[in-house]
A and B are shown apart, each in its own frame.
Chain A
Amino acid sequence: MTEPRAALNLIGKPFRRVDGRAKVTGQTRFADDLTFPRMCFMRLHRSTVPHARIVEIHLEKAEKMPGVLGFLTGEDLPVSFGILPMSRDEHGLAVGKVRYVGDPVVAVAALTEEQAEAAARAVEIEYEPLATISSVEEALANPEPRIHEHGSGGNLHRKKSMIFGDLEQGFEEADVIFEDTLFYGGNTHLAMEQHASVAVPEDDERVTLYSSTQIPHYVHRALARVLELPASRVRVVACPNGGGFGGKSDIMNHEIVTAKMALVLGRPVKISLTREEVFYCHRGRHPMLMHLRTGFGKDGSLKAQHLKTALDGGAYSSYGVASTLYAGALQTATYELPRYRFDTLRAFTNKPPCGPKRGHGTPQPRFGYEVHLDKAAHALGIDPADLRLRNLAPAGLITANWLQLSSVGLGRCIEAVVEGSGWRRRYGKLPHGRGLGLACGAYICGVGLPLYRGEMPHSGVQLKLDRSGGVAVFCGQAEIGQGSDSVLAAIVAEVLGIELADIRLVVADTDLTPVEFGSYASRVTVMMGNAAYDGAQRARELIATAVAERFEVDSERLVFAESRVFDAEDPEKGLSFAAAVAIAETRFGTLGTTGSYRPPTPPGRFQGSGVGPSPTYSYSAAVIEVEVDPATGLFDVEHVWIAHDIGRCINPALVVGQVEGSVYMGLGEVMMEEQAFRRLPPRLSGALVHKTPSLLEYKSPTFRDVPPVTTYLIEEPDPAGPFGAKEVGQGPLLPIPPAAANAVFDAVGVRVDQVPIHPHMILRALEDKARGKEGRFGPAAFPDVDFPRNLIVPTPAEGGDGTALNDPRSQKQAGRQAAKEKPSAASAPV
């Protein structure tokens, strides 16, 4: 998209993030830090039962509580919402029934937070309990009672099967076929900031919502829909997020309800969730059962793979339709896989809804694939690093499932961690109890298609320049801590040759900033960055044109650097940036430019091809060293070597920080983190409840639990990214869980085919091995599920054109077309 320049002033060098000073002085204003005159407080009464019809809501006691200002129930918010237009199955407050412990039922506003809390507790609800579904297996076995009336029948939300190429032929060409069943447990984002929202009624029928959200644009759309207001009368401002990780990238009940309450009461309303409530909001990692069957040549070459995944979706759709497809879409991006079949299903269960957590749907199958490859390498007698290097996807490949790859730095990533860890000398040769494991991953850098249909830009940026020399940059993007603001400012500063201090940002405000889809799918650097580049480039052209006229030089010869605009061939001949802008302002009038970005049209055109395409993909490889105590099963990670293909660093210090943060989060997932549930005994209602809805009980790594990390940044500028940059926020998490599992095998010779790996699992596997068995702990089998109606898509190598042979959509369209054409054909003169 943008060719890298010969000399970069700012990009590629570490700089203090533009919001750094505010963050270390306490000046950053998070949503819960906001107050407004006459502001009141809201609390939600949440369901205490996992699945029930609401018989009656009793507000009598609560209404008499001091300070109470008003209530809302499901009746007040009849319009449904959902992040994906095809599955809007949520309401601000439960309508008719509740689906998990924590489902919001009644909202109460009062003068103080304590009064609101007391009134919410005084709300009484009569329920008629329904049988509960706690797992995929239970959902398959119990089509009734249905948690939702939509989906793929019974309690299945989605079921999909896609076959890319002649799979049988692929398996026939294989010399050996390996099969594995693995499980990845659910876990949650645990952002340190609990969600908070403040809604302010501005004047008649107009409302502003300040919220800790990664997606102000989608919240804006949902609010307009649910409040039944023109979108122009709703304003959403995303405050800086105190951590997101995907947990604030969905439209949350409390955001909708707070806005409604403010409109009803005619005064500002704030809600700040408790930590327990954040566990109920969830939208975290789907528990996922996986089965892989892969055919290899004797030399380790991949021939064909059949992946089956089953996702435990929780009580609502959320991003589930996309999650279900991400559970298989990126398997082909790392290694060249000529033929591929992917069967997937998502079940509804009576638990908090799952959604996108860092890596969205892909860390689970990546864990499955990388452990599966490790086992295959072992069985084939091939070094696991060599097995991967042998099958590397080449740059520019269109994969079997029609992903258009751009640059691929995976080979260099593998070489870096192999070299850095001493893999060739040490793998398989360390004393019993010590081991090394290797794994890789790939991730999207933005998505090829928007969440709703349309041809409009995905990213918009606007620039305002004037004679002060200052540049104001407006963009709808939300800063969630990853450095979005710094990327935005750096790209504009680089193009215009000015300092970061001369740039003022206005972000994440749907009234003031152009539409940007938000901080998810690792889309910020590539998509917003390209829009920023585009806008800045247009401003540069305006200034260059005016200055060139004034100096009577060719505008091509002008350089923008060091806050000056000057003639490349006579650097003395030039002027300050502020003076250059003044000339342009004189020449053109008030200055402003816009930049926008839409990703290229993906080559796949079959139903479901919208999930997976990206302007480019980032790559990571990791080697992990572990120490396992065979007597107790306790294991420690001693060192992590990780290499990440970043394309080009905008700010290397922040890139290293994202890599380290991803490694940490991946280690948390493989070693301890668990969003777990249990059934209470029958005398306590038999309800399905969260085991650990607190920061103390939900174990996450502390300062003392993280091992040393050696980070290698592989820079190979990608033509799709601004200055060649790719994503880094999510990809480096992917290789961590499988590398740890593979290291446990190298250390003690047993396999734990599930995440998290607890000591008792290693012990059980060791006992299993001592009994002369496989030496494995993990799920026994994938449920027997029928996947009819396979979508059959010929691969590029087979001469396919990106469409399915049997796409139900195109068949429907063809049918409609034929129906339309018939009468006209009949009436046409022959």
Chain B
Amino acid sequence: MTHAMTTLTLRVNGEDHTVAFPAHHTLLEVLRERCGLTGTKHGCELGECGTCTVLVDGRAVLSCLMLAVETEDRSIETVEGLMDGNRLHPLQAAFADLGAAQCGYCTPGVLMTSKALLEADGDPSEAEIREALSGNLCRCTGYHKIVQAVLWAAARLRGEDSAPSAEVFYGSPPPGQEASSSSSSEAHDDD
């Protein structure tokens, strides 16, 4: 079983990758196995979980369902391209600080879907965030911290100096009981 090989130049995160691969290989396979960009993950390879989401011409796509040959002359963005130099993207910083990435496996896909959302709508409501991300499964977080992180990042991208409420970091103060020792949020900002 040998397959015809295709040679193609993919533009990933603004850099050209000239790679040879079997023509039927998906963008997911080519990114991970030919470009060495293993930041993009897979959870099913059947289009069911959203884990492999990348951006193609700014749109969130499931890289397990797109053939790499379809992406010639198009702009591909992956999690590896989110940082600005050595500085985290506000989405990345918010995810890291809130614990919106627990195991971190669904995180690249969630980050890329969120980036596409925020580029289309800089001030999404919580419901709009949930709608946009409803194709991305996460088993760790229960989704709450992710929604809060996207809201926080959106605010920062709008230039607002807002931080999530103390409840996000500490839980709610137990009613009728002594407040816990500390109550102010002290997130890092050391991107």
> Quick one: given A24-B104, A25-B39, are A14 and B169 in contact (CB under 8 Å)?
yes
B98 within 8 A of A: yes
Identity of the chain B residue whose Cβ is nearest the Cβ of A654 in the assembled complex:
B99
* A581 lies within 8 A of chain B by Cβ: no
Do B111 and A192 have beta carbons less than 8 Å apart? no
The answer, among B111, B140, B181, for a CB contact under 8 Å with A12, is B181
Q: Contact at A653–B134, with CB atoms within 8 Å?
A: no
Q: Which residues of B contact A19 (CB under 8 A)?
A: 104
A483 to B129, CA, bound (A): 26
B142 touches A663 (CB 8 A): yes
List of B residues within 8 angstroms of A274 by Cβ: 45
Which residues of B74-100 have CB atoms within 8 Å of chain A's CB atoms?
A: 78-80, 82-83, 88, 91-93, 95-99
Which A residues lie within 8 Å of B48 (CB)?
275, 694-696
> Judging by beta carbons under 8 Å apart, are B106 and A192 in contact?
yes
> Does B14 sit within 8 A of A, measured CB to CB?
no
How far in angstroms is the closest Cβ of chain A from B184? Answer: 9
Complex contacts, A129 vs chain B, CB 8 Å: none
Give the segment of A239-247, A367-375, A468-476 that binds chain B: A239-247
Q: Is the interface of B mostly helix, strand, loop or mixed?
A: loop
B103 proximity list for chain A (CB < 8 A): 23, 191-193, 240-244, 480-481
- From A412, A695, A706, B177 is in contact (CB under 8 Å) with A412
Which residues of chain A from 162 to 218 have a CB within 8 Å of any chain B CB?
A: 189-194
| Complex Cα spacing A430 to B171, Å | 27
A655 near B171 (CB under 8 angstroms)?
A: yes
Which chain B residues (166-191) contact chain A, with CB distance < 8 Å? 167-177, 180-182, 185-188, 190
| Chain A residues, Cβ within 8 Å of B26 | none
In the complex, B27 has a CB within 8 A of chain A:
no
Q: Are A24 and B180 in contact (CB under 8 A)?
A: no
B37: which A residues are within 8 A, CB to CB?
Answer: 26
Within 8 Å of chain A (Cβ to Cβ): is B56? no
The answer on a CB contact under 8 Å between B107 and A17 is no
Contacts A660-B141, A661-B141 hold; do A16 and B96 have CB atoms under 8 A apart?
A: yes
Min Cβ gap A691→B in Å is: 16
A66 and B98 form a contact (CB under 8 A) = no
Interface residues as binary, B133-152 with A (CB distance below 8 Å gives 1, 0 otherwise): 11111111111111100000
C-alpha spacing A483/B188, complex, angstroms: 17
CB distance from A280 to the nearest CB of B (A): 15
Least CB distance from A66 to B in Å reads 5
Whether, in the assembled complex, A712 has its beta carbon less than 8 Å from a beta carbon of chain B, the answer is yes
B133, B138, B144, B167 — most chain A CB neighbours (10 Å)? B144
Residues from chain B with a CB closer than 8 A to the CB of A275 are: 43-46, 48
Say if the beta carbon of B71 comes within 8 Å of chain A.
no
Interface: B118 (CB within 8 A): no
Q: Are A709 and B130 in contact (CB under 8 A)?
A: no
**In the complex, per-residue mask of B13-44: 1 if CB is within 8 Å of any chain A CB, else 0:** 00000000010000000001000011111111
Q: Is A340 an interface residue (CB 8 A)?
A: no
Name the B residues within 8 Å of A21 (CB-CB): 88, 92, 96
- Using an 8 Å CB-CB cutoff, how does the interface string of A139-150 with B read, 1 for contact, 0 for none? 000000000000
Summed over the interface, the residue pairs from A and B with CB atoms below 8 Å come to a total of 239
- Min Cβ gap A110→B in Å is 10
Are A656 and B168 closer than 8 Å at their CB atoms?
yes
At the interface, yes or no: B4 with Cβ under 8 Å from chain A? no
Q: Does A661 lie within 8 Å of B102, measured CB to CB?
A: yes
Given that A24-B95, A30-B41, A242-B103 are contacting pairs, would A714 and B174 also be in contact in the complex, using a CB cutoff of 8 Å?
yes
CB distance from B34 to the nearest CB of A (A): 12
Q: In the bound complex, do residue B139 and residue A25 qualify as a contact, i.e. CB atoms below 8 Å apart?
A: no
Q: Does B155 count as interface, using CB distance less than 8 angstroms? A: no
Q: Which of A457-494 contact B (CB under 8 A)?
A: 480-483
Q: Which A residue sits closest to B133, measured CB to CB?
A: A703
Cβ of A431 within 8 Å of any chain B Cβ, yes or no, is no
Tell me if A136 counts as interface (CB < 8 A to partner B): no
- Smallest Cβ distance from B191 to chain A, in angstroms? 9
Contact B174 A23 (CB under 8 A): no
- Nearest-neighbor residue (CB-CB) of B106 within chain A: A192
- Distance to closest chain A CB from B172 (angstroms): 5
Known: A23-B104, A28-B104. A13 touches B138 (CB 8 A): no
Is the pair A661, B104 in contact by a Cβ cutoff of 8 Å? no
Which of chain B's residues have a CB closer than 8 A to the CB of A26?
Answer: 37-40, 78-80, 108
B101 in the interface, Cβ–Cβ < 8 Å? yes
Which partner residue on chain A sits nearest B144 by CB separation? A660
Please tell me if A115 contacts chain B, counting CB pairs below 8 Å: yes
CA of A20 to CA of B80, assembled, Å: 15
Q: Which of B1, B41, B80 contacts A25 (CB 8 A)?
A: B80
* Nearest-Cβ distance from residue B4 to partner chain A, whole angstroms: 13
Task: Determine the distance from Cα of A649 to Cα of B43 in the docked complex, in whole angstroms.
Answer: 32
Residues in B neighbouring A654, C-beta threshold 8 A: 99
**Is the pair B41, A193 in contact by a Cβ cutoff of 8 Å?**
yes
| Interface core residue of A23, A65, A190, A416 (most chain B CB under 10 Å) | A23
- Known contacts A14-B185, A29-B38, A190-B139; A653/B99 CB under 8 A: yes
**B111 touching A24, Cβ below 8 Å:** yes
The smallest C-beta distance from B165 to any residue of chain A, in angstroms, reads 12
Chain B residue contacts of A151, Cβ below 8 A: none
Chain A residues near B168 (CB-CB < 8 A): 653, 656
Q: Which of A344-392 contact B (CB under 8 A)?
A: none
Q: A192 with B130: in contact, given A12-B182, A695-B48 (CB under 8 Å)? A: no
Q: Which one of A653, A663, A706 has the greatest number of beta carbons of chain B within 10 Å? A: A653
Determine if B172 and A694 form an interchain contact, defined as CB atoms under 8 angstroms apart: no
By the criterion CB–CB under 8 Å, are A245 and B139 in contact? yes
Contact of B138 among A12, A192, A649 (CB under 8 A): A192
Question: For chain A residues 14-56, which have a beta carbon within 8 Å of chain B?
Answer: 14-17, 19-30, 32-33
Whether A603 is near chain B, meaning CB under 8 Å from some CB there, is no
A5 at the interface (CB under 8 A from B): no
A420 touches B172 (CB 8 A): yes
Bound: A629/B43 CA distance, A: 34
Return 10 A-B CB contacts under 8 Å, by A number.
Answer: A14-B97, A17-B96, A23-B101, A27-B39, A275-B48, A481-B140, A694-B44, A695-B43, A703-B133, A706-B143
Q: Which positions in B face A, CB cutoff 8 Å?
A: 1-3, 22, 32, 37-46, 48-49, 51, 78-80, 82-83, 88, 91-93, 95-99, 101-108, 111, 129-131, 133-147, 167-177, 180-182, 185-188, 190
Other than the known A30-B41, A115-B1, what 9 A-B pairs have Cβ atoms closer than 8 Å? A14-B97, A26-B38, A66-B2, A275-B44, A481-B105, A483-B99, A653-B170, A661-B142, A706-B142
